[in-house]
Structure 1
């Protein structure tokens, strides 16, 4: 094994020499270290946050670079991390939902595999959460993984993930237990409270606690830097420090606003490798950078050619390519299905909500399950003191949103209805349409539909090789959602393409049209070859008139063997509210037991069964049952 590693190291050394310029022939490939944490905004001192206490990160930034327009592309862990490690949009791979098990093309290699093939030792400690299997893709991916386990002199790519700032610890009901060995405390009375949060003592405590956890992470960064120095590696290692998306708080994590997408990113580059970042001319870098760009950039730093699969752009060095836009996506989070996409040009953020009838904060376990920040919002609602900008998230979403972040950094004023911005919206929507078509955005199909079509292959290949998927026609259908679609709607429900029929059903729900006008079409769709169309038509018929046949159809798919199909049937059941009552006995006796287990004391595992269980639990709660969820 050592012999093979030595061969690969020598090969990568030669490659690095050939790619690094005339005067750099004696420099070995750089080590590359990613230090990532969970669920935080750019709440570091180096970003001008005077409340933050982050001396170690700030010192790195003082000697390096601060990226002010970095984005996770997705505002929640798994799709963001899938994008990060592949250099491909999660929407291209079908990995944009939290949490899923998606097949990838057999010949697709993710970043650590490519680096390993070129002589790098690759280690990940230890979170993956990619929505696909990480097995065999790292030299070591475990809680003991470390650069010190490599062969002598071998360059390394290492990822160290911190969990301390995750929304779980952030919303912990016993916050002091997490900080007992850390003396520094932020003063709650001085905590910055965004205008969309209630400015209450409890909210200030939550925010102060959030910043305390960030300081603990900062100490961890300092410890890693010290270890690099003790190992004699600091001057040979390019370091990225970043978060995986916004705060683990409402209006941040799960939200497609800038508050959910923007991440802090500090880059440290040793003097000997400054030629690799020759395009950076100042400490603050305003270039648009997304997670999708990290992998191709690392390959360029390592002197390796780009992967044919990767969709991101290298943003460092002489071959850097500037992004004109950053694209974002919000899909299923837990058991709350959604489909929203965004475009950001450095100032304006445009969001298109393709399921505007579904509020951001739904009646779902994930929002009701003893999270301190959510409890504070619910209390403020009861007391009629919740800011209107937060209240709106309990209701239907706007079809389109446009925010001027230069003049409205908190994204309080939606400009989408103002006449003077219509040309900008049309242009950004066109960019979004083109992006979705170019990359075959899997969100153009329902999750259950594309997973069924991809069996025996991969979602990526299916959406490119299957002639039954027409992205241009689908985009046209999707853009009917939220418009006056009376005549068009009937045609969509009767279209030969099951995907167009699906978007017809979405448009029907979003429009609020009387289902009686399309009852005949809905009854036919109860027998549709596409399960999701049967499920959605059943839900609409039940909401309209508690149709017995529709209940039978929903039970059929709740009892299906395909877990993704069951998940979407369970989501439909939850959205029925109290009209789910006739199915509660069947759920208790026959369906929930299949997905029960020890996760949270109730669910079988952390993937589809967990979210099936959560949806079924909330459906029972909606019908008057009391269920204790840890």
Structure 2
């Protein structure tokens, strides 16, 4: 059955006619004897995505001299384009993959939390982009990971399973879009016992690897990086297997082949963290002979133009000759809708990190060229805050033990220390983001400019994280766009309130006083963000303790938890009964989980004591959910 609407057929035909003279001349000169045949009338190209899980640019020699050799990926690059500055918008899989499939920023459409409690509805008029390809006659197949935070319609994939393949299409002449995901580089591959350092030798010599400066230089860390190099060499072989399948089918020179990591990773301080190690991914696109005109570049070239995951879907549609949908955030970097010169000038990337499994934090980043601005909205939370799955890695465990034993200093200790509310990094001299220049007098103009630019982005979206996940799942997920627009003024106010922490305290104090007083501020969420600002100020905010203590009886459980958080960090006031009461009043899982995040933080870093085994929760505890992870961890510490 032909699913292609008539108007799209005309559009594709007109598009190809526009390209025909250029393509024909190139094909006549260059495709004789190619495995794509001798037909000079080009059909629409195939597109194949090869994704490896959990790896940043730091583990491939093609991008970093300290990385692993990958001759097959390098061969792809010799017949294509290397994108040296490609970025996942989020450093974790479900959020990153939802960004890829929707071409929309997660905080704008309510898909920013990993693992999502409730799937968000797609924005009105926007489909997951493979649906547009199917309408145009493409066979779409996914082998096999989906992991989306938005509701998927039935028209996205012709097949999505472990047997999905372009070879399964009924019409063998139809173009195809195929996704292959390889898990050989997934973080679970590093969940080995520390005894493997001596019992399971690696092909890569651990003494030959170059450790990041924020790691302790131990045999275990060296072994872990060497073992990951071995995994990346396996990925390289898997990439070659897909290339060989295309070649065997006579489709290689009809097909754009993308190789990229699904986000950064996977040694400690990468996956789940909005550093370059979590966001900066490898991207190589092999360009087929028959469609070189759509690339607009010399084969074997590299570009430093910035591309983000929101751009990947629009790029596929551009290569397929389809119009760009309205309502998405991305723009093509290849194909008819992309000007290579303009792509080369792109120099901005936006990043976001929110809840990662059971661990909450709220971070936004803006990279412009070699400068990166980071806004840590909850800077009192260290990066090393407990996340059960992360700490299955022996290197993570050793890192924490060394810190607790007082054996770390400098960059190696930063992971377990409070963060700064703002960070500014010069990546040209500090690629691993260990030297924060936010306090440098010579960088204040740049800091304020980038602060303002990021602030404008968050307010114009508007960023739904500022209504909290607990509210979002109850009120926003049925129609996130409509909810965000109807609450845009409130979201701006919440951002302005938490940003009071960036002012000198004497200047911020009168505004915080008003925000904390229910008689002057009726919106509980203004009080919530004011308390976060107070916790950022720490001891400086002692004059507000009487107002903060009154919030222990607030009507909103999350406000109570934030008040207790400040008081436990900065005073001797007893908060345990109020924290317990707030947990037992929580009405959905994200609300309870957010409070437990505070309890785990206080337990691990402020000697807090609370017996959570006797909590009388309203919220059901799903044995496969996130609450059980926090509760199990806390109960094990009793």
TM-score over 0.5 (shorter chain):
yes
Do the aligned residues in 1 keep the contact of 2:66 with 2:209 (CA within 8 Å)?
no
Distance across 2 between alignment mates of 1:173 and 1:552: 37
Question: In the alignment, what sits opposite 2:460?
Answer: 438
573-582 or 500-509, which deviates more = 573-582
Distance across 2 between alignment mates of 1:435 and 1:51: 34
Flag the 1:541–1:154 CA change in 2: closer, same or farther, 3 A: same
Distance across 2 between alignment mates of 1:122 and 1:348: 38
> Of residues 503, 521, 536 in structure 1, which corresponds to 2:529?
503
Question: In the alignment, what sits opposite 2:378?
Answer: 355
CA offsets 1:99-136 (integer angstroms, 9 cap, x no match)? 10332236430111121122111111111122224352
> Of residues 596, 616, 620 in structure 1, which corresponds to 2:631?
616
SS state of the match for residue 591, structure 2? helix
92-101 or 481-490, which deviates more = 481-490
Flag the 1:175–1:55 CA change in 2: closer, same or farther, 3 A: farther
Distance across 2 between alignment mates of 1:549 and 1:176: 45
Question: In the alignment, what sits opposite 1:40?
Answer: 55
> Of residues 565, 570, 574 in structure 1, which corresponds to 2:600?
574
> Of residues 288, 304, 310 in structure 1, which corresponds to 2:306?
288
Q: CA deviation at 1:285?
A: 0.8
SS state of the match for residue 480, structure 1? helix
Distance across 2 between alignment mates of 1:224 and 1:278: 24
Question: In the alignment, what sits opposite 2:77?
Answer: 61
Question: In the alignment, what sits opposite 1:102?
Answer: 119
Flag the 1:58–1:279 CA change in 2: closer, same or farther, 3 A: closer
CA offsets 1:190-233 (integer angstroms, 9 cap, x no match)? 12212211222221111111010111111111111000001111
Question: In the alignment, what sits opposite 1:212?
Answer: 230
Flag the 1:264–1:468 CA change in 2: closer, same or farther, 3 A: closer
Output the TM-score relative to the length of structure 2.
Answer: 0.87
329-338 or 466-475, which deviates more = 466-475
Question: In the alignment, what sits opposite 1:628?
Answer: none
424-433 or 519-528, which deviates more = 519-528
272-281 or 412-421, which deviates more = 272-281
Question: In the alignment, what sits opposite 1:17?
Answer: 16
CA offsets 1:43-100 (integer angstroms, 9 cap, x no match)? 2232253651211111111111111111111111121111111111111112111110
**Structure 2 counterparts to residues 582-593 of structure 1, below 5 A:** 582-587=610-615, 590-591=616-617
> Of residues 155, 160, 170 in structure 2, which corresponds to 1:141?
160
Does 2:544 match 1:517?
yes
Q: CA deviation at 1:381?
A: 2.8
Question: In the alignment, what sits opposite 2:31?
Answer: none
Flag the 1:279–1:471 CA change in 2: closer, same or farther, 3 A: farther
Flag the 1:521–1:54 CA change in 2: closer, same or farther, 3 A: closer
> Of residues 398, 413, 426 in structure 1, which corresponds to 2:420?
398
Distance across 1 between alignment mates of 2:106 and 2:195: 34
> Of residues 138, 142, 154 in structure 1, which corresponds to 2:174?
154
507-516 or 290-299, which deviates more = 507-516
Question: In the alignment, what sits opposite 1:262?
Answer: 280
Where structure 1 has 5 or more consecutive residues not aligned to the other structure, the ranges are 597-603, 625-630
Do the aligned residues in 1 keep the contact of 2:203 with 2:230 (CA within 8 Å)?
yes
Does 2:515 match 1:492?
yes
Do the aligned residues in 2 keep the contact of 1:535 with 1:553 (CA within 8 Å)?
no
Do the aligned residues in 2 keep the contact of 1:350 with 1:401 (CA within 8 Å)?
yes
Question: In the alignment, what sits opposite 1:474?
Answer: 494
Q: CA deviation at 1:565?
A: 2.0
493-502 or 265-274, which deviates more = 493-502
Flag the 1:418–1:541 CA change in 2: closer, same or farther, 3 A: closer
CA offsets 1:291-341 (integer angstroms, 9 cap, x no match)? 111111111111111111210121124532543411111111122211111
SS state of the match for residue 282, structure 2? strand
Flag the 1:176–1:576 CA change in 2: closer, same or farther, 3 A: closer
Matched positions, count: 600
CA offsets 1:502-527 (integer angstroms, 9 cap, x no match)? 21121122222567835456545744
Flag the 1:458–1:328 CA change in 2: closer, same or farther, 3 A: same
Distance across 2 between alignment mates of 1:473 and 1:19: 49
Flag the 1:387–1:147 CA change in 2: closer, same or farther, 3 A: farther
Do the aligned residues in 2 keep the contact of 1:327 with 1:344 (CA within 8 Å)?
yes
Q: CA deviation at 1:445?
A: 2.2
Distance across 2 between alignment mates of 1:70 and 1:534: 41
Distance across 1 between alignment mates of 2:61 and 2:386: 37
Distance across 2 between alignment mates of 1:67 and 1:338: 30
Do the aligned residues in 2 keep the contact of 1:198 with 1:387 (CA within 8 Å)?
no
Flag the 1:592–1:527 CA change in 2: closer, same or farther, 3 A: closer
SS state of the match for residue 270, structure 2? coil
Question: In the alignment, what sits opposite 1:600?
Answer: none
Flag the 1:226–1:567 CA change in 2: closer, same or farther, 3 A: same
CA offsets 1:540-583 (integer angstroms, 9 cap, x no match)? 5677533476145324335x3x2222222332332342877554
Do the aligned residues in 1 keep the contact of 2:202 with 2:226 (CA within 8 Å)?
no
